[in-house]
Amino acid sequence: MKPSSKRPALLRELKNYLLFLKDYGYTEIPQQMELNLGASKETSKRVLSPSTQNKPGLLQEVREELGDCTRCRLSEGRNKIVFGSGNPNADLVFVGEGPGKDEDEQGFPFVGRAGKKLTEIIEKGMGLNREQDTYICNIVKCRPPGNRDPEADEIAACKPFLLKQLQVIRPKVIVALGKPASSTLLGRNVPITKERGTWHEFEGIKLMLTFHPAYLLRFYTLENRKAVHDDMKKVLEVLGK
C-alpha cells in the first residue's frame, strides 16, 4: 500500500480524535490525555494515552454522569434506565430507538421480540457473537409511553449521553436501526426506505443505515429481509469479517 492511500483513514481518525477532545472541553491538544467524564474533576481525573483507554471504565463514568436521570419527562414512567449492553471494546455498535416494555422491565436493550430478531441478525445472519462482538444502545434511555416515538426534546436531552458512549467506544462501524436513530445521528430527517443500505459518517466513524428489526417483523417480506441482509454484508466487509 502506498503511504498516500492511507491518508483518508488517518485524516478521519485525526478528525475523530479532535472532535472527541473538543467535546470534552479541550482547547489544546494534550500530550497525555486527561479525561473527565464525571461531574467532579477532582474525583474522576484520569491520565490516559488514547491507545490505553479503559473503555469499560470510561463508559461507567458516562453511566454515572447519567445517574438517576430526570432530564426529560420519560423518567416519570420508566422502571429502569436502559443504558446499553455488550462489549465496550467492540468494533460494531448498533443504535436503536428506545426501550420497549421488556427492556424497561429488565434494564437491557433489545431483549424483547425485536431484540430476538436483532440477535438473530447478528448471530445467524452475520456470524458474530452479540455480547462479545457488539455494543447495543438506544437514542433514548427510557421507555416512551405506549412505545410511541421519542419526541425531539426527549432525544435532545439524551443525545449527549449517546454521543459520549460512541466517543468512548469509537467502533469501526455504527449501524443505525430505523428512522429515528438514523435521523438523530445524521441530524436531519432521514427517509429510511430510500437511504437504508448507504454509508454515512458520524464523527469520523462509518455509519450504515438499515431497517429497525421491529419494522422487519411488521413487514416481514422477502424484499425487506434481503435488504437488511445486504446491509449487514456491507458492514461485515468493512469490518474485514
Instruction: Provide the binding-site residues for ligand URA, judged by CB under 6 A.
Output: 82, 96-100, 103, 109-110, 112, 114-115, 138, 214
Nearer to ligand URA, 138 or 167 (CB): 138
Q: In angstroms, what is the minimal distance from the CB of 160 to ligand URA?
A: 19
Residue 227 C-beta: closest distance to ligand URA, Å: 18
Identify which of residues 143 and 206 has a Cβ nearer to ligand URA in the complex.
143
Cα–Cα distance measured from residue 100 to residue 218, given in angstroms and rounded to the nearest whole number: 15
At 172, list the grid cell.
469501526
Cell of 152: 425531539
Q: How far is the CB of 102 from ligand URA (least distance, A)?
A: 8
Q: Which residues, in sequence order, are CB contacts of 74 under 8 Å at separation 6+? A: 98, 140, 142, 143, 144, 150, 154
Nearer residue to ligand URA within complex by CB, 62 or 181: 181
* Of residues 115 and 171, the one with the C-beta less far from ligand URA: 115
Please identify, using beta-carbon distances, which residue of 44 and 75 lies nearer to ligand URA.
75
CB of 164 to ligand URA, least distance (A): 18
Closest contact distance (angstroms) between CB of 214 and ligand URA is: 6
Q: Which residue is nearest to ligand URA (CB)?
A: 96
